[in-house]
Amino acid sequence: MNTRFDDAPEEVQQAIAKLEKQGLTFPNKPKDDIPVLPRDLTDLDESELMELFADFISWVNYAAPALSVAQVTEAQTEKQISFARSSLLAGTDPATKEKSVTVMKARAEVSDAVAGLEAKHSQAYAYRKMIEAMYYNLERDMNAVSREITRRSGEMKQRRRDRYTI
C-alpha cells in the first residue's frame, strides 16, 4: 500500500487500495526539485526544452493525487462537522425546554466537538488551497513549455515546406 497518503481519511485509503489492485499506482516524488520556468523558453535548445517538459509532467503527475486527497479530506471534514452539529441538535435535552432553534444551534456551534472539527476543517482547507495553487502553477508552466514545443514543431514544418516548394 502507498505510504504517501497514510494520514488520509479511511475512504481515501480504501480507494487507493482498490486502484493499486487494478495496477494503478501513484508516482513517487520526482528526483529533481520542482522546475522553474525560464523567462525565455526560446533560449533553451530542443533537448533542454524536452527535459524541462518531462520534469513538469513528473511534478504535475505527482501533485495531482495529492490535490485529490486534499479535496476528499476537506469534504470529509465538512461532513463530520455537519454530522456533529446534527447529532448535537438531535440530542438536545427536552427537559431544558429550549424553544429557540437559534439558541440550540448556537450551543451546537460552540461545543468542543464542533470546534475541534472546525479546526481540522480549517487545516484541510488551507492545505487544499496550497496544493491546488501549486498544482495549477505546475500545470500552467507545463502548458507553456508544451506551446513552445508546438511552436518549434510548426516552424520546422514551415521550413521544410519552404525548402521543397517551387
Phi-psi region of 97 (alpha: psi -120 to 50; beta: other; left: phi over 0): left
- The answer to whether residue 159 sits within a structural domain is yes
Asked whether residue 93 is domain-assigned, the answer is yes
pLDDT tens digits, 109-121: 778 888 999 999 9
Question: How many folded domains does the chain comprise?
Answer: 1
| pLDDT tens-digit series, residues 63-80 | 999 999 999 999 999 999
Residue-range definition of the domain harbouring residue 149: 45-164
Residue 33 belongs to a domain: no
**DSSP per-residue codes, 76-92:** HHHHHHHHHHHHHHHT-
Query: Rounded to two decimals, what is the model's pTM?
Result: 0.79
Burial 6-35 (b: 16+ CB within 10 A, else e): eebbeebbebbeeeeeeeeebeeebeeeeb
Longest dimension (CA), the chain: 97
First CA to last CA distance, the chain: 62
Considering the domain boundaries, does residue 40 fall inside one? no
Give the CA radius of gyration of the chain: 25
Residues of the chain falling short of pLDDT 70: 1-2, 92-99, 161-162, 164-166
